[in-house]
Structure 1
Amino acid sequence: MTNLIKMLRIDERLVHGQVALIWSHQLQVDHIVVVNDKAANDPIQSASLKMATPPTMKAIVLTRDKAKTLFADPRFNALNSFIVVNNPQDARFVVETGVKIPLVNIGNFGRASKEAAANKKKYTENLRLSDQDVADLQAISDSGTPVAYQIVPDQQKIPLDKLIQKGA
């Protein structure tokens, strides 16, 4: 049985309107799996992410270690899911666990704080990447998993190679 992961999204806000309402409905999922050590270890943030999830879906907030265990469990293959991380490093981790991801979608990233944005190159109004971020995204792409920037489903996808050229 193949898993039913629809997409992995990188979005520094994790679960919010675009993720909880637009993407999850577009992808027709019933589980949103958040992989982020900080969020999973913060009961308030974890509860907030779960509350932001529509009542027709279940949110699971996991550390990297617990996510790796979940992805290895054969029962995970039955979950119609959408994985959300808030940085390229966590996205690379998920892909490197061996779970099949049909697409890594880059959303809003690199603008959360002025300090963080100052050390990153601007690619679009909603995307700033450091050299390490680009290296992690390139490693994902090189592994055979497609990577593209797209804020919402009705916006045109920009493949990673074109995105990097655009920012050059």
Structure 2
Amino acid sequence: MIINFARIDDRLIHGQVTTVWVKKANAKRIIICSDEVAHDEIRKTLLKQAAPPGTKVNICEVDKAVKVYFNPVYENETVFYLFVNPTDVLRMVEQNVPIKTLNIGGMAYREGKTQITKAVSVGPEDIEAFRKLNEHGVKLELRVVDSDTPVDIMKKIEGLSSAQ
């Protein structure tokens, strides 16, 4: 499997993803890797309907996504991985899926999270996952839209630590 693009965006497939990021990814298939979403039939149906024409969409649990990655049947398939959170990305990386660069686009604010940009809020589990991904050598670039200048999310996270 050829990973053309990997992105965290908790809205998953929406206007910006379908009009910009799918083109940038230049992949034949979007794979949404999330245990939570894989078990939500309504959300799965809506996400598949939102996909741009000609792009296949699969939604699966993280462990299944890992198995699919290593299945030789798909070795020439180009994919765009979409994630809801960095913990799921880390689970794949720790199982040797070679995600080299991760685009962080949207992580909504919720109770217990700290807003670090207009579009990204992180909680302790997110910070820990980003730190581990960084240790694994994954390039972590915060960029909501393609025209944004990429920002190293680790600088934002370290800024949180020094502010506390």
Length-normalised TM-score, structure 1: 0.89
Equivalences, count: 161
Any stretches of 5+ residues in structure 2 without a counterpart? none
| Corresponding residue number in structure 1 for 2:69 | 71
Structure 2 counterparts to residues 84-123 of structure 1, below 5 A: 84-111=82-109, 117-123=110-116
CA distance in 1, matches of 2:75, 2:92: 15
- Percent of counterpart pairs with the same letter? 28
CA distance in 2, matches of 1:166, 1:151: 19
Structure 2 counterparts to residues 26-65 of structure 1, below 5 A: 26-65=24-63
Question: Is 1:11 matched with 2:9?
Answer: yes
Any stretches of 5+ residues in structure 1 without a counterpart? 112-116
Length-normalised TM-score, structure 2: 0.91
CA distance in 2, matches of 1:137, 1:76: 28
CA distance in 2, matches of 1:59, 1:65: 17
Q: Is the 8 A contact 1:68 1:97 kept in 2?
A: yes
CA distance in 2, matches of 1:23, 1:81: 12
Divergent runs of 4+, >4 A? none
**Residue deviations 1:140-168, cap 9 Å, x none?**
11101111110011111001222224444
Partner SS, residue 144 of structure 1: coil
CA distance in 1, matches of 2:33, 2:7: 11
Partner SS, residue 107 of structure 1: strand
Partner SS, residue 56 of structure 1: coil
| Corresponding residue number in structure 1 for 2:22 | 24
CA distance in 2, matches of 1:38, 1:122: 23
CA distance in 1, matches of 2:140, 2:80: 15
Partner SS, residue 48 of structure 1: helix
CA distance in 2, matches of 1:65, 1:77: 17
CA distance in 2, matches of 1:63, 1:161: 27
Q: Is the 8 A contact 1:31 1:57 kept in 2?
A: yes
CA distance in 2, matches of 1:137, 1:6: 20
CA distance in 1, matches of 2:47, 2:27: 16
| Corresponding residue number in structure 2 for 1:128 | 121
Following superposition, the deviation at residue 64 of structure 1 comes to: 1.8
Partner SS, residue 78 of structure 1: coil
CA distance in 1, matches of 2:142, 2:82: 14
1:144 is matched by which residue type in structure 2? G
Q: Is the 8 A contact 1:6 1:101 kept in 2?
A: no
| Corresponding residue number in structure 2 for 1:114 | none
